Amino acid sequence: IKRMTIIGFTFSTVAFLLISNFPIYFVKMFATDFELIDLAAKTSPIYFGAMWIFGIQMCAQTTFVGLGKAKTSLIIALLRKVILLIPLALILPLFFGVNGIIWAEPIASFSSAITSAICGFSLFLRRRRNPGIQRGLCSFRPGRYGPSVFLWSRSSIDRFLDLCKWQIPIRG
């Protein structure tokens, strides 16, 4: 989970830096009208302003799905695009004009990323306090309604792969 979060955060940060520093090249991929290119190049750094933290939300959602908590993942996904973005896109233009619509996306993305990070960290703390019972190849952790999560340790994965080795014939 740590490695996935680092990779996701790094990728989203690099994408944010590229889009915010070179927006005109990305806009030209989708438009040919010079006025539209100019407008989009000016507003895309604002629109993608919270993209650097979006990697954390992607990793948190993937982790929740992998741990059998799809409802939490769905709520976080809906939080970003439905619960926050739609009301912000309707309310912010009343105060900021057209720029309110552009600012709605980074506000919704940042808020949902912080929320997913808090949910993920609290899940990590709960799992750390109750490490579960060691059984066989994996760590069995009972959920609220019965068995829910199997977490494979590195040594158990190695043992499992030794049992399932593929014999690939080498032609000489």
pLDDT of 103 > 90? The answer is yes
Higher pLDDT, 146 or 54: 54
- CA–CA distance, 169 with 149 (Å, rounded to integer): 36
- CA–CA distance, 2 with 59 (Å, rounded to integer): 9
Residue 130: the pLDDT is 67
Other Cβ atoms less than 10 A from the Cβ of 41: the count is: 17
3-state secondary structure of 134: strand
The mean per-residue pLDDT over the stretch 56-74 comes to 86
pLDDT in tens, 27-49: 899 888 999 999 988 898 898 88
- CA–CA distance, 51 with 15 (Å, rounded to integer): 8
